Amino acid sequence: MVQPIYLYGSEVLRQEALEMDITNKEEVAALVQDLKDTLAVADGCGLAAPQIGVSKRVVLVDGRGMVDVYDYLKDFLRVMINPVIIEESETKCQYNEGCLSVPGIYADVIRPDKITVEYYNEDLEKVTETFDKFACRIVQHELSHLDGGMFVDIVAPIRKKIIAKKLQNIAKGKVGTHYRSKIK
C-alpha cells in the first residue's frame, strides 16, 4: 500500500531504527510491499522504512530508473533487511544527492566509493555484497536513514548555511510534493 513519505522535521527520521524481526514473515512482506508501492509513485531510487514512518532497519534501493545515466544499474533492485556495513573504502567520491524526505534540495556529498554490506534479502537469505559507483551511493544514502542521518547533515558547512531556510520551510510543511507526504 502506498504510504506517505515523512519529510525533514519528522521525528522518525532522526531515530535509530530497530532491527526487523525476520521470523515475522508477514510483517516483513507487508513492509517491503509498502516500500515498493510508495517508491513506485514517488519516483525515487531508494526508500528506507523510517521514511514511511516505520522505525525498522529495512531499505529498498532501485537504480533501474537511472539506467539512462548509469547503464550498469539496469538490474539494480535490492531489498535490504537489517543491513550492516562491514567494510568501506578509504577512498572517497563526491556525488550530488537529493532525498524524497527533503524535496527540492540537492547537494554534493562525500562518501566512501566502495562498501561491503551484509543483509537479509527479500527471501530472508543472508547476503554479503560489495557495491561501488552510483549503486554504492544509493545504498549508503538509504542506510544512513536507519541511523537517523540525512544527507543534509554531511554537506559542506557553506552549503548548510545556503539551504538552512529551505530546510526550515520543509519542517514547517511549506513545501509541495508530487507524492503523499507528511511531517510528524
Q: Which residues are designated catalytic? A: 142
DSSP string covering the chain: ---PEEPTT-GGGGSPPBPP-TT-HHHHHHHHHHHHHHHHHHT-SEEEGGGGT--BSEEEEE-GGGTTT-GGGTT-EEEEEEEEEEEE-S-EEEEEEEETTEEEEEEEEEEESEEEEEEE-TTS-EEEEEEEHHHHHHHHHHHHHHTT--GGGSS-HHHHHHHHHHHHHHHTT----SS-EE--
